[in-house]
Structure formats: structure tokens, C-alpha cells
Amino acid sequence: MTRQTLTYGDYLSLEQLLSAQHPQSDHHDEMLFILIHQVSELWMKLALHELQAAQQAIMQDHLQESLKMLARIKVIQKQLIEAWSTLGTMTPSEYVGFRDKLGTSSGFQSAQYRELEFKLGNKNPHMLHMHERTPEVHQQLQQAYEQPGLYDAVLMLLSRRGFQVSDALTDNFTEPYTAHGSVLNAWKEVYAHPEQHWDLYNLAEKLIDLEDAFQQWRFKHLRTVMRIIGEKSGTGGTSGVGYLKKALDYQFFPELWQVRTLL
């Protein structure tokens, strides 16, 4: 195929994309359910693309490039949040009409969502096991689990800028990040004197934007699930609302929230 014969449909692979919906029932609302999740996976793919590039830019001290990418992720997150509002137009009675056709499938099994969490620092080895039947996906998640995440790159940047955060640096990136007093002191200095550390100050606010939007996504997910299935267990054996409530407690960048109390 040449540039002269390339069509809009060819370029976007629309034949494959628009034929990728396979409802398991005749229920009208199952198409909505499928499309919302497919579209969300596409947005997550873009978010991962931008997040990886932003982290690489930070590691190379190209902060202005990373800020642009992180700002784009925030806009992507708005799309993900709003998707729950669309799904929320489905009533419990409508969902019950096809829920039994979903079998053991669950959004809990989303590899891209798990990779986002890993790259943002929420590492949990138990989340790898469910992907062992798909070796390529499992390998990709294993790499994200073992490699430094976004905040690890930021901590290394703080160290290169002369902040004493060596106790927060590690060669083992498989543990969930916990707050360090040295990192809190570094951010306190940045926020106390933003004119001296403007790019770091701007980066910190972009990280806050990212986590704030992620928490809004989690909350909207929780409320949508409560609206549609109440306190019932989720598909795939998940605890449903209970798990989603617990997820709201986790912070990716704890010192950036703590520093607000100290200023």
C-alpha cells in the first residue's frame, strides 16, 4: 500500500477496530459496556506511552519535555474519568441482563491498568500471577514491576540537584514506595523557594495533578460500581466495592501531599 492509496480507514485500521466488539448476549446495553472498556484501554495505552517518555525525559534532565507529557496525561485522565459517567447511564436491571455472560472476566485483570500502577510506584507481586497464562503480557508487567518507576526517576533527579535524599534511593524497585523524611525536606525547600527551583516546583505540581486525577478516576469507578451492582462481589471473584475503597487509601507521591501541611 502506498501513500497515494492509503485511506482514512486503512491508516486507523478501522475494519479491525470497529469489528472488535463481540457481545455475548442480545442485550442492548452490552455494546455500551464493551465499548467503554475498549476505549478506556486505548486511553490507557496512550497514557503509558506518555508516562514512559516523561520518565525517560526526567532521567535525561529534559524537564520541559517531561512537563508537556505529564500535562497531556492529565487530559487523558479526564477522558478516563468521564467514561465512568457514560457507563453510569446503565441501570442495575440493564446490567443484570448480561452480567452472567461475562464469566470470570473482570477489569481487575487489565494489564495496562496494572502497568500504570507499577510505573507510578504501587508494586504488588500478587498482581502478576493472574497474567501468567499470557507470557508476553506477564513479561512486560514483570519488567514494569522490577524497573524504576516515575517517582524513582524524580528522586534520582532530586539527588542530582544536590538534595540529600540518598536514604530514599534503592536498587530494589519491587517494593511499594513509602515516605522518607529526607524527601519531605527536599520538597519543603522547593516549595519554600519556588523561584529558585522553578522547574522542580512545576514538576511537583504536575505529579500532584497526575495523582489527583488518578484518585478521581478511582473514586468515580467506586461510585459507578456502587450505582450498578451495589455491594455485590465483582466479576472474576474480586471483592467489588471493598477492594475499590481500599485502593483509595494508597498515595503514589506521599511527601508531595505531606509538604502542604508544613508550609
- Cβ distance 200 to 158 under 8 Å? yes
The answer for 132, left when phi > 0, alpha when psi is -120 to 50, beta otherwise, is: alpha
Q: Which residues make up each annotated binding site for heme?
A: 221
Distance CA 162, CA 160 (A): 5
Q: Residue holding cell 534503592?
A: 170
Q: Which residues make up each annotated binding site for substrate?
A: 95, 99, 235
Q: Closest by alpha carbon to 180, among 167, 163, 164?
A: 167
| Residue 209 CA: distances (Å) to CA of 137, 187, 203 | 29, 16, 10
Give the CA-trace dihedral at 10, 13, 15, 17, to 10 degrees: -160
Residues 6+ apart with CB under 8 A from 228: 87, 88, 90, 91, 92, 95
Distance CA 176, CA 117 (A): 10
Q: Which residues make up each annotated binding site?
A: 95, 99, 221, 235
260 phi, psi to nearest 5 deg: -65, -30
Residues 6+ apart with CB under 8 A from 243: 108, 234
